[in-house]
Amino acid sequence: MSHSQYVNADFFTGRPTIEIAQALLGSTLLYRTPEITGGGLIVEAEAYLGTNDTAAHAFKGRRSAFSEPLYRGPGTLYIYRLRANYLLDIVTQPAETPEGILIRAIEPSINPEQLIKNRGKSGVLVTNGPGKLMQALGIQDQGMNLMAINDSQLAVDLGQRKVPRQILALPRVGVNPNAASGQLPLRFVVAGNPYLSDIKKRDWQSDHGWK
């Protein structure tokens, strides 16, 4: 596995956040500890578009110790806590342009038995949501918050990837639907993948939506 295929700042350069979110689908999110590496294929990624996005933590230029990572350079990790869950956001644009992508779901592919053990659940419940996938990886603190992804124990591997047959753009989850940006289709998913956070079982595809 070549580290040269890990996402670094160059991956983000010169393209919009919505394009980056779609490019992440099918790549492998890794968490590497001295004991074990675990991870999975990214199947759901949600874009947040900064100061004009009513659902973004940086809406209207809001800036606090909480949201400070969003104002750093591309590839900065923004790990925050929401209702007892830790969530993973990756900053996508140059410093002072506070846009990012929330990784919402992964399909276990690297040491899945460790992810199951960490979550205490099996099947799609292991990683079919942003808080669940962090539990499954074993990340339950903000120790990597503000770190550049390629200086951290997290990585996105573009070398270990599958190609989605179809990418859907859907409204985001957990945002105010009545606000100006509430219904924007900024959640990108691998159509038919059973690990999506809100998919019905009848819509699962046997090949999980990969080519």
Q: 135: domain range? A: 3-194
Residue 205 lies in a domain: no
Residue 200 lies in a domain: no
Contacts of 159 (CB under 8 A, 6+ apart): 1, 2, 5
Residue 106 lies in a domain: yes
In the prediction, which pLDDT does 3 show?
64
CA distance 110 to 102: 20
Cβ 27 vs Cβ 160: under 8 Å: yes
Single-letter amino acid code for the residue at 1: M
Give the predicted TM-score (pTM) of the model.
0.96
Contacts of 49 (CB under 8 A, 6+ apart): 17, 18, 56, 99, 181, 186
Residue 199 lies in a domain: no
- Which stretches in the chain have pLDDT values below 50? 1
Domain count, the chain: 1
Residue 210 lies in a domain: no
Query: Cα Rg for the chain, rounded, in angstroms?
Result: 16
Per-residue tokens: 119: 């979550």
Residue 211 lies in a domain: no
Question: Looking at residue 71, which CATH number applies to its domain?
Answer: 3.10.300.10
Contacts of 84 (CB under 8 A, 6+ apart): 131
Whose tokens are 């959640």? That residue is: 187
Residue 202 lies in a domain: no
Residue 114 lies in a domain: yes
